[in-house]
């Protein structure tokens, strides 16, 4: 079996078209001991995803950071990633689990209380909860759940949960006060030429609220 995902690990980094480059941002996360780095590449040839996944696997293999591939369990298995993350309209959980094996991590996105309950019944390693706020990073946008919806979904989660959806350093304290233990950010880390500065600020805000 895969090593258990802790219920409390903080920042979950999602890399999607980072201005500073995938490899640079992955190294930055590894150097700072970030628990998870997910590769999310949309609307690009699958061979390109596989090549980048192989590069990030090499980078993340030297630290504590777990490397997750979005959407593609076959690529995750091919490069020896730590796991895969699937959405509601992606590969079914059972198929993803069969592809990556019992020793790998499988996470599932959920957008409603019913989906959270159903996903947790499958016993994945973690669930994604969101979007908390409206997000422009997806072509097909799910309805924002707000902090009230987030609180309800977290109460239903029987596995570790990661909240996401337009979370920033400005609203992160509100997210943590509402009960989130783990969170993902996309734009603050990806849409900057200075990811070091962005990550430093993310960790400053998080650690000020939850001293390590």
Reported as a single tens digit per residue, the pLDDT across 122-178 is 999 999 999 999 877 555 567 899 999 999 999 999 999 999 999 999 999 999 999
- For domain 10-209, give the CATH number: 3.20.20.70
Give pairs for 97-105: CB < 8 Å, separation 24+.
99/73, 99/74, 100/73, 100/76, 101/77, 102/1, 102/2, 103/1, 103/2, 104/2, 104/76, 104/77, 105/2, 105/5, 105/66, 105/68
Using DSSP's 3-state secondary structure scheme, residue 184 falls into: strand
**pLDDT (0 to 100) of residue 4:** 85
Helix boundaries (H) for the chain: 22-31, 46-60, 73-79, 93-100, 113-121, 146-156, 172-177, 187-190, 195-209
Largest CA distance in the chain: 42
The answer to whether 124 and 144 are in contact (CB under 8 A) is: no
pTM recorded for the entire structure: 0.95
Structural tokens at position 7: 């219920």
**pLDDT (0 to 100) of residue 62:** 87
What pairs with residue 69 in β-bridges?
39, 84
**pLDDT (0 to 100) of residue 212:** 55
**pLDDT (0 to 100) of residue 49:** 98
**pLDDT (0 to 100) of residue 187:** 95
**pLDDT (0 to 100) of residue 172:** 97
Give the residue ranges of the chain where pLDDT is below 50: none
**pLDDT (0 to 100) of residue 34:** 98
């Amino acid at each position: 079996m895969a090593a258990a995902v802790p219920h409390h690990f903080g920042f979950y980094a999602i890399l999607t078209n980072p201005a500073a480059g995938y490899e640079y941002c992955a190294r930055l996360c590894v150097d700072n001991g970030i628990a998870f780095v997910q590769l999310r590449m949309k609307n690009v040839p699958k061979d390109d995803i596989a090549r980048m996944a192989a590069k990030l696997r090499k980078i993340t293999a030297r630290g504590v950071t777990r490397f997750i591939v979005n959407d593609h369990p076959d690529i995750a298995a091919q490069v020896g990633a730590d796991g895969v993350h699937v959405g509601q309209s992606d590969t079914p959980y059972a198929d993803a689990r069969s592809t990556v094996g019992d020793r790998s991590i499988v996470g599932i996105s959920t957008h409603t209380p019913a989906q959270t309950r159903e996903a947790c019944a499958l016993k994945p390693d973690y669930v994604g909860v969101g979007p908390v706020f409206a997000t422009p990073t997806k072509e097909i946008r799910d309805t924002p759940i707000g902090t009230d919806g987030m609180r309800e979904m977290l109460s239903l989660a029987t596995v570790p949960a990661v909240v996401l959806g337009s979370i920033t350093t400005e609203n992160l304290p509100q997210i943590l006060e509402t009960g989130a233990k783990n969170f993902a950010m996309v734009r603050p880390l990806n849409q900057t030429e200075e990811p070091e500065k962005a990550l430093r600020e993310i960790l400053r805000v998080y650690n000020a609220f939850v001293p390590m």
